[in-house]
Every structure is written in C-alpha cells, then in structure tokens.
C-alpha cells in the first residue's frame, strides 16, 4: 500500500494516509491530496467540501485500479488532475468513478499523459449522476502526448445520467511532438534534453497551473523533469516537408 499526502489548504496542516482506505473530506473544508499511483480507494465529499486530487504517476502497476469519488453532500466540488509520465514498458490502467448523489455538485477530471518507449495508458472515466443529483456539473478530459511510435493510449468515457438538469461533457486527444518546433528549438542552440523538457513542460503547464498550492505545484514541476528519459530522437536532419 502506498501513502497519500493530504493537506488542508486553509490551515496548512498536512498528513499522510494509507491508500486503499476510505477518505472522507469533511464538511466545508478545502483540501488537496497527492497520490503516486492509482490504487483502489474511495473518497467521500461532504457538504460544501472542496478537494483537489492529484495523481502523479511515473511507475506503472498491474491490473486495473479504481478510484471512486462519492458526492454525498450538496455544493461539494472536486478537481481531479492526472499527470503521468510513462517510460519503458510501464502500463497505467485505471478508472475513476464519479458518483453524484445530491444536488449542485461539481467535478472535473483532467488527465494528461506523456508516454515514451512502449508505455501505455488506459483510462476509463465513469460519470454517474443519480436522479436526485440535479444541477450537477461534470467534465472529463484525457490528453496524451505520444513520444514513441510504440507508446499507446486509450480513453473510454462512460456516462450514466438519470437527472435531467445537468451539465456533463468529455473530450480526448492524442498527439505527438511537433517535429518542426523541435527542430526550431535545436537550431537556436538549445540542447536536446532542454528542448524536450520545454515541450513537455508546456504540455503539462495548464494542468500544473490548476494546483492551488505553490509548494506542491513546484515540487511536481521538478518531479516531471526528473522523470523524463534521455531524448532518443534524431536531430541530424530537419523534418521532411
């Protein structure tokens, strides 16, 4: 079992908890939680609570892992951010379950992955809005940057909506590094490793900007750079036109 970092954004108090157990976000609190793997767990949000849940993963795991978020209290809000750097043959297979049980809850799931070598990410996002959960506002996105011809990505959004006054959307993109932009950076004398860092940092920048704690945000920015493998592309020639 791994540990999760939990921090109260109002008091600054931090604690570590063991993943796999149920985590309750108390009424009217504003918390941030950082996980290093998608291990089975359940998070319950009580009335008026706010949670930023950050999954930062650089090592894969076996099998499919589920993270369940249950919105038990009105006016509860979740921001779930995924930052994944895959290398080697690492596999990141996981799903989030967003279960809305009451009125006026909000949830956004924004997953970003930079995949190298033969790594793979497989994400399923479940949005479950029960009949009492009117005025629910949910959104799910999964954006992947493939940095190898052998890296893979898959996204499966699943919506179960019983209420009629809701907002629910999803989006997914898969792309590669712009060869012309990379060549431009290299032609300006930027070292390959630095150029790659710049492009990947740019890819994760909007995600990192959503983290409401400066210390955690800066720590994750450095951790992303540290997780990057040495560049393997060929810089000898300009990209073909």
| 111: three-class secondary structure by DSSP | strand
Rounded Cα gap, residues 91 and 69, in angstroms: 23
Which pLDDT tens digit goes with each residue over 68-96?
A: 999 999 999 999 999 999 999 999 999 99
| Residue 238 clears pLDDT 50, i.e. is over it | no
pTM for the model? 0.90
Which pLDDT tens digit goes with each residue over 104-122?
A: 999 999 999 999 999 999 9
| Residue 235 clears pLDDT 60, i.e. is over it | no
Residue corresponding to tokens 């919506």? 159
pLDDT at 186: 84
pLDDT at 240: 43
In 101-205, beta strands by DSSP E: 106-115, 120-129, 136-146, 152-161, 166-176
Other CB atoms within a 10 A radius of the CB of residue 205 amount to 11
**Mean pLDDT of the chain, nearest integer:** 90
Residue corresponding to tokens 């712009």? 178
In the numeric block, which tokens belong to residue 82?
């995924």
| Residue 236 clears pLDDT 90, i.e. is over it | no
Over residues 96-103, the mean pLDDT reads: 97
Which pLDDT tens digit goes with each residue over 37-65?
A: 878 889 999 999 999 999 999 999 999 99
- The residue that leads in pLDDT, 186 or 84, is 84
């Amino acid at each position: 079992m791994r540990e999760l970092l939990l921090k109260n954004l109002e008091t600054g108090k931090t604690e570590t908890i063991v993943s796999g157990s149920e985590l309750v976000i108390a009424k009217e609190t504003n918390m941030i939680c950082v996980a290093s793997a998608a291990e089975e767990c359940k998070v319950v949000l009580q009335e008026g609570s706010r949670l930023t849940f950050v999954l930062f993963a650089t090592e894969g795991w076996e099998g499919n892992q589920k993270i369940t978020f249950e919105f038990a209290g009105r006016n509860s809000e979740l921001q779930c951010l995924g930052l994944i750097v895959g290398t080697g043959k690492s596999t990141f297979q996981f799903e989030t379950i967003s279960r809305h049980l009451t009125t006026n809850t909000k949830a956004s799931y924004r997953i970003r992955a930079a995949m190298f070598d033969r790594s793979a990410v497989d994400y399923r996002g479940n949005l479950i809005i029960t009949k009492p959960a009117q005025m629910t506002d949910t959104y799910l996105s999964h954006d992947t940057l493939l940095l190898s011809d052998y890296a893979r990505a898959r996204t499966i959004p699943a919506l179960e909506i019983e209420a009629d006054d809701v907002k629910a959307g999803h989006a997914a993109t898969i792309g590669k590094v712009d060869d012309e932009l990379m060549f431009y950076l290299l032609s300006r004398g930027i070292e390959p490793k630095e150029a790659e860092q710049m492009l990947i940092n740019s890819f994760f920048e909007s995600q990192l900007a959503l983290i409401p704690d400066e210390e955690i945000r800066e720590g994750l920015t450095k951790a992303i750079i540290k997780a990057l493998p040495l560049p393997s592309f060929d810089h000898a020639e300009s990209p073909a036109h």
